[in-house]
Amino acid sequence: MEPKKVKNGRQIIINTESLETRVAVLKDGELDNFKIERASKEHIVGSIFKGRVQNLEDGLQAAFVDIGMKKNAFIHYWDMIPEDVARLEAEEGVPASRRISKKKRWEPGEMQKKVPVGSEIIVQVTKGAIGTKGPRITANISMPGRYLVMLPGCKLKGISRKIDNKKERLRLKKVLKGLDIPENMGLIVRTAGVGANKDSFVRDVKALMSVWEQIESGIKNKSAPCCLYHEPDLAARTVRDALTEEVKSIVLDSQEEYEEVKELVGRLSRRAKNKLKLYTGNKPIFEYYGLEQDLQNIFKRKVDLKGGGCLIFDETEALVAVDVNTGKHKGAKTQEEGIRAVNLEAAEEVARQLRLRNVGGLIVIDFIDMRAKRDQNAVMRKLKDGLKHDKASTNVLAISQLGLLEMTRQRVEESVRDVTYMDCPYCSGRGKVKSAVSMSVELQRHLAEIMRGNKGREVSLKIVVNPAVLNRLREEDEEQLVLMEKEYHAHLTFVSDHNRHMEEFVIEDAANGNILYKEA
C-alpha cells in the first residue's frame, strides 16, 4: 500500500530522475516549499574550497579568487578576514579606530599586505553563480549538522534566535558548555535542537569534527585551487535541514536514494528511520500526490487567491514586482473590510510564492490602497509571519505613501523559473513581439525609401513576410500599397513564409534576386 498525503504536520516528497531531482515539502497537505536540482549543474553553495587570490580591486573593496570553477569567485574585503581573527587583532592592542569590523573600508594597498595576490585562502561559497556573475564566497566558514552549526576558527557559542523559549535556551546553554570541542571551534544550536538530548548533540559534534578533520587534511596536503568539502545532493541536504518533529514522513521514489537517505537518517536520528517510505507505484510520485498542478502554478504570472482576489508576478533581472488585485472578491460588508481581507490573504500567499519560486533581490509589492494605519500594520505583520518559515534572509520595509511595500530576499541561487526556462528565441525574452500593424508601418517606410532611390524608374520588388503581417497588408493596408505602386511606378509582390519571424521581412529585386533590405 502506497503512503498517503499527511494532513497534519509536514511531509517531504523526493522525486529522483536521471536528469534532475525535485523535492516538495508539504505542510498540512499543501505545497509549502519546492526545490529543483539538475544533474548538469553542480550545486556548490555551502561547499568549502582552497582558493588562490587572483586580483585585489581596492575600488570595489573586493577580490577575485580562483576556486577551480569557470569563473573566479567574488569576495568582499570585509569577508576575507575571519571575524575571530579581527577580534584577536583588537585584543592584541590594535587601536579601536583600526579594528577590523564588518564592512570596514580598507585603504589602497592595505589588503595587499594581509592577503597578497597569489596567496592561498580557505573560503566557503555563500551564493552560486547566477547569470554572468561568478560565485560569492566568504572566509567565515560554517558547517551545518543535524542540531548544530559548527564554526571553525571561531569561539562563538550560541543558540538560534528562532528559539525563544527561555527555559529551553537555558537548558541548551548548559548542554553547549558540556560538549567537548577544541577552543577554536564555535557552535550554534539550530532550531532542530529543541528538545534533543545531550547524546544527540554529542553524536552531531563527532560527525562534524570528523568532516572538519578531513578538510584540515586537505588544507595541508592539497594545492589550490581545489574543493575541500562538497555539500551533499539536494535530497540529503533537505533531510538534514528539514527533518524535525513536525515531519511525519519522507517519501522517495528511488531505491538508491532511499538507501542513501536511510543511512543519513540513521546517523542523524535513529527514531526518524520509521518515517522513511519508498514509493513504488506506477504513477509518477508527484502526480500521485497531486503536486504537478501546484508546480505548474509556480510558473504562472497570475496567482488566484481562494477569496477571489489575485496576484500578478513579474520577475525581472533587477527586481520582482507583485501586484495585488481584488479580482472577484465578494462578501465583505464595507469596501475597507474587503480590501483588508484581500491584502491579508495576499500577504500570506506572497510569502509562500517567494519560497516556492525561490526569487531574490529587491521585491516590490503593490497592495491595494489602505487608509487606516492599523490595516497597513496588520498586513505587514501577516507578511512577516509568513516569512518566518523562509530560510533565506529577508528585510521588510514599511508601506510607503504610494502604497508600495519594499522588501529584499537573499538570492543564493537561481530562481526556479531561471532553472527551468530559457529565454524565448522568438521574442528574445521580452515576452512580446511587434504587432502586425507595427511591422506594416516599418515595411512601408523601407519600401518608400527604396522606391524613392530609383528616381522614377519602374521597379519590381518581391517582399517576404510572416503570414500574420501578410494578412494585415491584404485586409487593412492594400489601398495604401496600391497608391505607393502608382506614385513610384513600382510593382510589389508579397510572399508568405511560415518560417519567417514576426519581426522579420526581406525586400528583394524581383528581376535579379538581389536583397535590397533585410529586417532580422
pLDDT in tens, the chain (520 residues): 677 778 888 999 999 998 999 999 999 889 999 999 988 777 889 999 999 999 999 999 999 999 999 899 999 998 998 865 444 343 333 333 333 445 678 888 889 988 999 999 999 999 888 877 899 999 999 999 888 999 998 888 889 888 888 999 999 999 998 898 888 889 999 888 888 888 888 988 998 999 999 999 999 999 999 999 998 889 988 888 888 778 889 999 999 999 998 888 877 777 778 889 999 999 999 999 999 888 888 889 999 998 888 999 998 877 999 999 987 777 666 888 888 999 999 999 999 999 999 998 999 999 999 888 999 999 999 999 999 888 888 999 999 888 899 999 988 888 888 888 888 888 887 788 999 999 999 999 999 999 988 876 888 999 999 999 999 999 999 999 999 999 888 999 999 999 999 999 999 999 898 999 998 7
Closest CA to 492 of 480, 476, 504: 480
**Domains, the chain, ranges and CATH?**
10-43+232-292 (3.30.420), 142-222 (no CATH), 301-420 (no CATH), 436-519 (3.40.1260.20)
Q: Which three cell numbers stand for residue 124?
A: 566557503
DSSP conformational letter for 271? G
In angstroms, what CA-CA distances link 379 with 78, 344, 400? 36, 5, 13
- Give 125's strand partners: 137
- CA 143 and chain centroid, separation: 21
ω into residue 467 within 30 of 0, thus cis? no
Contacts of 292 (CB under 8 A, 6+ apart): 284, 286
Contacts of 359 (CB under 8 A, 6+ apart): 315, 320, 409, 411, 415, 417
Q: Which three cell numbers stand for residue 334?
A: 464595507
DSSP conformational letter for 133? B
Closest CA to 350 of 412, 409, 403, 410: 409
Are 188 and 167 in contact by the 8 Å Cβ rule? The answer is: no
Are 433 and 462 in contact by the 8 Å Cβ rule? The answer is: no
The 3-class secondary structure across 464-494, one letter per residue, is: EECHHHHHHHHHCCHHHHHHHHHHHCEEEEE
pTM to 2 decimal places: 0.78
- Give 144's strand partners: 149
DSSP string, 404-453: EEEEEE---S--HHHHH----TTTTTSS----HHHHHHHHHHHHHHHHHH
The 3-class secondary structure across 6-27, one letter per residue, is: CCCCEEEEEEECCCEEEEEEEE
Closest CA to 326 of 314, 334, 338, 337: 338
Are 469 and 519 in contact by the 8 Å Cβ rule? The answer is: no
- CA 243 and chain centroid, separation: 22
> Does the CA dihedral 123-128-132-136 come out positive or negative?
negative
In angstroms, what CA-CA distances link 145 with 150, 242, 347? 7, 11, 32
Are 394 and 409 in contact by the 8 Å Cβ rule? The answer is: yes
Contacts of 272 (CB under 8 A, 6+ apart): 243, 247, 265
Q: Which three cell numbers stand for residue 259?
A: 538507501
